[in-house]
């Protein structure tokens, strides 16, 4: 029998206990051995919980229990969780975690410390979708050319609603908060940080690249308006918050931002709270993985799959999918050197000569315009909706500053990258 | 170093050799060891081939070579391939195969024979999509409720073209043959047999159910016309050739047929030669896997991923994902007991009273009509396009016979199941 201790028994932890019980028949048939959760660590022992599990508020009761084979870390946070999983590994226990923040900061150290012990983290990216499994094992024959995904369900729900119902960002945010899809402070989701954590984990598996959230370009969806949506629809795009990793020679670009993406792409067709990740390999071409990115049972499904894997075979794959040889071979492309097509929304006073002056600034910055729309914004202002041919990030940023400084421009132009 | 022998060096075999060479850097970083193809077995040694590989026309040169660790079986066919992989296993070699027909007939015997040796077959279902990986490992915590997929690219290409371009079946088939998507005898693809082989493999992993192709309902797309497509479009459906496995109590239904499926479903949005498989688990909900289902490099990507898995860890997972306990717990639902909604196209002489008589037959058979359209088919005949509420297969089949026997009905009604 395999014994599991769970540190942090919230929504996901409760689902893990429930799945191990509900599906014990199929789990033991698949693992070849019975798996039982024997201990749970919680902060507040007095809180009523609807699970049958021996609880403690002392983490040592799990970490130092010689009977426990696998420690499941669901406490969240970074440094405290890091200390806990390190202790678990030092005590010879396999670890399963759903903690993306922990991995966004400490994955390489954890790979070092884990050595021959299993350290699994399927649930840390895209909840119930077995994307770690696919990327690390299923696509291992490929040089990965790109990863491009909807990695945050909250943002995708909001973008979908804005596109389908024509409602403003603020109204949809309130609705998402009421439905429990968005937190009271939604920054972690709509600001792109949640997606960035996941992107960094995937990029490590694909490229062995070491970066932390503060090293990469992260922007959110909070500046997207119905003007942008209608431009997108007119020109055959959807707007999605995407996490993107792309190999370019010996460099890898990593970025999270609202993106205009052609409606013909599969990723553009993913609606609602669902997640989807497209991976392009040099041999296989594009494969795509779709499913629920959050939720107690979906996330716990991935946690339990990891537990079954460990029960089946101990450690079967290196934690990040490669030995040391791969680490550091590729470097992070500086964010200001990223190349993209761009869409700009520029709110200008409705005066003669404005268009010509804007066009001249594009020309002076060597940025070539692909399409342009002018739409009235108010009685005396207009929005210029402009898409460019491929340009370099630093050139666009410089030009945006120049445009923002013009007397007839009413606010800093909004920019959305076109994928 | 891991040495690989390849039996059958056609399109996929050549790609396997090429990937092992092209991607040797990343493969050895991921496997933790170098992997080299050392021998290939071909029928005709005189044929020119653009690969660097020591070739032989004697299978013993691979099977009896003590230096070879992994045998890759790409010869195709059933019984001869079965003998070859059995010999490989008896000689203590791990086996990787892309041969779906072999597995459709002998997967349970192979699981028995393989015992502690690795026997992997990712490429046998949906080419480059790591669906075996996902179903066997990533979703192992779930009771699988259903599997529903586009498992044959040829048929999906044809259905997509018929829907988007309004061209007749025969014209599209010729085009698909010219492009190399369809064989001169297209029956294996358009008749549903290729998809059935894949479905049986997936159903074994999900349910431990033992069935052969001749045990299950298999129909193709060859009776679909533009009338059916326009009915589908009018009522919000796409028509797809689907492989379906569905658990209902202690029974599992397995079937391959042209299907009407709501355009809102992800599967309905999969166009062209691509494959996609949707899996619903009791805990995770729906996840979906999309990618190239055929092609040398895509298929070889899956073969090489299996080789890397074996190099990393020998055997890490039971071949079909479970020990003996699961086998035979669920039974195959008889095809005539399957429940579905149905669409019928009935070509009738355009006479008074026809509609009433047809409606009466539905009523007599206790089959409830959901929608009905009448369209002129020629100067003196009309097509009745009818969809039903849920009914039982045997009742529908009985009613179709009764309708076909009517004097004013010009041909056997065409039936498409609604998913």
Contacts with B, A 335-394, CB within 8 Å: none
pLDDT in tens, B237-246: 999 999 999 9
Q: Is B118 helix (H, G, I), strand (E, B) or coil?
A: coil
Contact in structure between B301 and A135 (CB atoms under 8 Å): no
Query: With 90 as the cut, is the pLDDT of residue B326 above it?
Result: no
Mean pLDDT of chain B: 95
**Of B285, B250, B214, B295, the residue nearest B18 (C-alpha):** B295
List CB contacts (< 8 A) between A204 and chain B: none
The owner of tokens 């041919």 is A389
- Known catalytic membership, residue A100: no
Residue B181 pLDDT level (bands cut at 50, 70, 90): confident
Going residue by residue through chain A (419 aa), what tens digit of pLDDT does each one get? Answer: 999 999 999 999 999 999 999 999 999 999 999 999 999 999 999 998 888 899 999 999 999 999 999 999 999 999 999 999 999 999 999 999 999 999 999 999 999 999 899 999 999 999 999 999 999 999 999 999 999 999 999 999 999 999 999 999 999 999 999 988 888 899 999 999 999 999 999 999 999 999 999 999 999 999 999 999 999 999 999 999 999 999 999 999 999 999 999 999 999 999 999 999 999 999 999 999 999 999 999 999 999 999 999 999 888 788 999 876 566 689 999 999 999 999 999 999 999 999 999 999 999 999 999 999 999 999 999 999 999 999 999 999 999 999 999 999 999 999 999 99
DSSP β-bridge partners for residue A243 = A149, A256
Between A169-178 and A153-165, two packed helices, what is the crossing angle to 10 degrees? 130
pTM listed for this prediction: 0.96
Contacts with B, A 69-88, CB within 8 Å: none
Residue B163 pLDDT level (bands cut at 50, 70, 90): very high
List CB contacts (< 8 A) between A292 and chain B: 284-287
- What are the residue ranges of helices labelled H in A287-418? 296-313, 354-364, 393-404
The contacts of residue A221 (CB under 8 Å, 6+ apart) are A155, A158, A159, A169, A190, A192, A239, A241, A258
Instruction: Report which DSSP code applies to B37.
Output: E
Beta strands per DSSP E along B379-413: 381-388, 391-392
Considering the candidates A93, A161, A198, A246, report the single residue annotated as catalytic.
A198
Considering the candidates B93, B161, B198, B246, report the single residue annotated as catalytic.
B198
Q: Does A140 touch chain B (CB under 8 A)?
A: yes
Contact in structure between B77 and B101 (CB atoms under 8 Å): yes
List CB contacts (< 8 A) between B287 and chain A: 128-130, 289-292
Pairing between β-strand B369-378 and β-strand A369-376 as defined by DSSP bridges: unpaired
Nearest chain B residue to A309 by CA: give it: B137
Residue B31 to residue A275: CA distance in whole angstroms: 29
How many Cβ pairs closer than 8 A exist between chain A and B?
A: 226
Element (DSSP H or E) covering residue B243: strand B237-248
For residue A50, the distance in angstroms to the closest alpha carbon of chain B comes to 18
Query: With 60 as the cut, is the pLDDT of residue B325 above it?
Result: no
Q: Is B283 exposed, middle or buried (0-12, 13-18, 19+ CB in 10 A)?
A: buried
Find the CB nearest B291 among A32, A208, A288.
A288
Q: Looking at residue B150, what is its pLDDT? A: 98
pLDDT in tens, B190-205: 999 999 999 999 999 9
Residue B242 to residue B260: CA distance in whole angstroms: 9
For testing the chain B interface, which of A27, A33, A121, A141 should be mutated: the one with the most B CBs within 10 Å?
A: A141
Residue B25 backbone phi and psi in degrees, to 5: -60, -55
Q: Looking at residue A323, what is its pLDDT? A: 74
Q: Report in angstroms the alpha-carbon separations of B65 from B13, B42, B313, B355.
A: 19, 16, 22, 72
Element (DSSP H or E) covering residue B100: helix B100-114
**Chain-chain contact of B137 with A133 (C-beta, under 8 angstroms):** yes
**Chain-chain contact of A282 with B137 (C-beta, under 8 angstroms):** no
Q: What is the largest distance, in Å, between two alpha-carbon atoms of chain B?
A: 79
The owner of tokens 């996490």 is A243
Dihedral angle sign, alpha carbons of residues B286, B287, B293, B299: negative
**Chain-chain contact of A284 with B266 (C-beta, under 8 angstroms):** no
DSSP β-bridge partners for residue B374 = B384
DSSP β-bridge partners for residue B373 = B385
Tell me the average pLDDT across B203-224.
96
List CB contacts (< 8 A) between B313 and chain A: 313, 315-317
Reading the block at residue B223, the tokens are: 């009776």
Residue A340 to residue B222: CA distance in whole angstroms: 45
| CA contacts within 13 A on the Cβ side of B329 | 19
Nearest chain B residue to A139 by CA: give it: B305
Find the CB nearest A133 among B128, B134, B284.
B134
Contact in structure between A259 and A341 (CB atoms under 8 Å): no
**Of B346, B392, B163, B331, the residue nearest B258 (C-alpha):** B163
Q: Looking at residue B141, what is its pLDDT? A: 98
Q: Is B55 exposed, middle or buried (0-12, 13-18, 19+ CB in 10 A)?
A: middle
Q: Does A325 touch chain B (CB under 8 A)?
A: yes
> pLDDT over 70 for what percent of chain B?
99
Domains present along chain B, CATH in parentheses: 2-127+296-326 (3.40.50.720), 134-292 (3.30.360.10), 336-418 (3.30.70.260)
**Chain-chain contact of B30 with A282 (C-beta, under 8 angstroms):** no
Q: Does A294 touch chain B (CB under 8 A)?
A: no
Contact in structure between A150 and A277 (CB atoms under 8 Å): yes
- Number of neighbours of residue A83 by Cβ within 10 angstroms: 10
Instruction: Report which DSSP code applies to B138.
Output: I
**Of B310, B261, B311, B306, the residue nearest B288 (C-alpha):** B261
Q: Looking at residue B273, what is its pLDDT? A: 93
Residue A346 to residue A329: CA distance in whole angstroms: 41
Residue B308 to residue A199: CA distance in whole angstroms: 24
Instruction: Report which DSSP code applies to B302.
Output: H
């Amino acid at each position: 029998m395999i014994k599991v201790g769970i540190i942090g028994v919230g929504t996901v932890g409760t689902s893990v206990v429930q799945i191990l019980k509900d599906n014990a028949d199929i789990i033991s048939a698949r693992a070849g051995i019975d798996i039982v959760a024997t201990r749970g660590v919680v902060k507040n022992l007095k809180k009523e919980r609807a699970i049958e599990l021996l609880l403690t508020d002392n983490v040592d009761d799990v970490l130092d229990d010689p009977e426990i084979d696998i420690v499941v870390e669901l406490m969240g946070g970074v440094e405290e969780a890091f200390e806990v999983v390190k202790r678990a590994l030092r005590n010879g226990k396999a670890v399963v975690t759903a903690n993306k923040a922990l991995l966004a900061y400490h994955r390489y150290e954890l790979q070092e410390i884990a050595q021959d012990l299993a350290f699994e983290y399927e649930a840390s990216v895209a909840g119930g979708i077995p994307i770690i499994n696919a990327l690390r094992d299923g696509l291992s024959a490929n040089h990965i050319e790109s990863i491009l995904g909807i990695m945050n369900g909250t943002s995708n729900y909001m973008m979908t609603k804005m596109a389908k119902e024509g409602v403003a960002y603020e109204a949809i945010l309130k609705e998402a908060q009421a439905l429990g899809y968005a937190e009271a402070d939604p920054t972690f989701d709509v600001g792109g940080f949640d997606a960035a954590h996941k992107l960094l984990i995937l990029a490590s598996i694909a490229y062995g690249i070491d970066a932390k959230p503060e090293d990469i370009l992260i922007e959110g969806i909070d500046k997207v308006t119905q003007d942008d949506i209608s431009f997108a629809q007119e020109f055959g795009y959807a707007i999605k918050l995407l996490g993107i990793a792309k190999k370019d020679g010996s460099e890898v670009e990593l970025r999270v931002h609202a993106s205009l993406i052609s409606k013909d792409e599969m990723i553009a067709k993913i609606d609602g709270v669902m997640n989807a990740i497209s991976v392009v390999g040099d041999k296989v071409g594009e494969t795509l993985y779709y499913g629920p990115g959050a939720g107690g049972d979906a996330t716990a499904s991935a946690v339990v799959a990891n537990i079954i894997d460990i029960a089946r075979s101990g450690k079967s794959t290196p934690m990040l999918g490669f030995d040391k040889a791969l680490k550091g071979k590729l470097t992070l492309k500086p964010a200001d050197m990223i190349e993209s097509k761009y869409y700009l929304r520029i709110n200008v006073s409705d005066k003669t000569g404005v268009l010509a002056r804007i066009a001249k600034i594009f020309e002076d910055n060597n940025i070539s315009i692909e399409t342009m729309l002018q739409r009235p914004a108010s009685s005396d202002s207009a929005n210029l909706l402009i898409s460019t041919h491929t340009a370099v990030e630093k050139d666009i940023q410089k030009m945006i500053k120049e445009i923002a400084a013009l007397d007839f421009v009413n606010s800093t132009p909004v920019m959305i990258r076109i994928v």
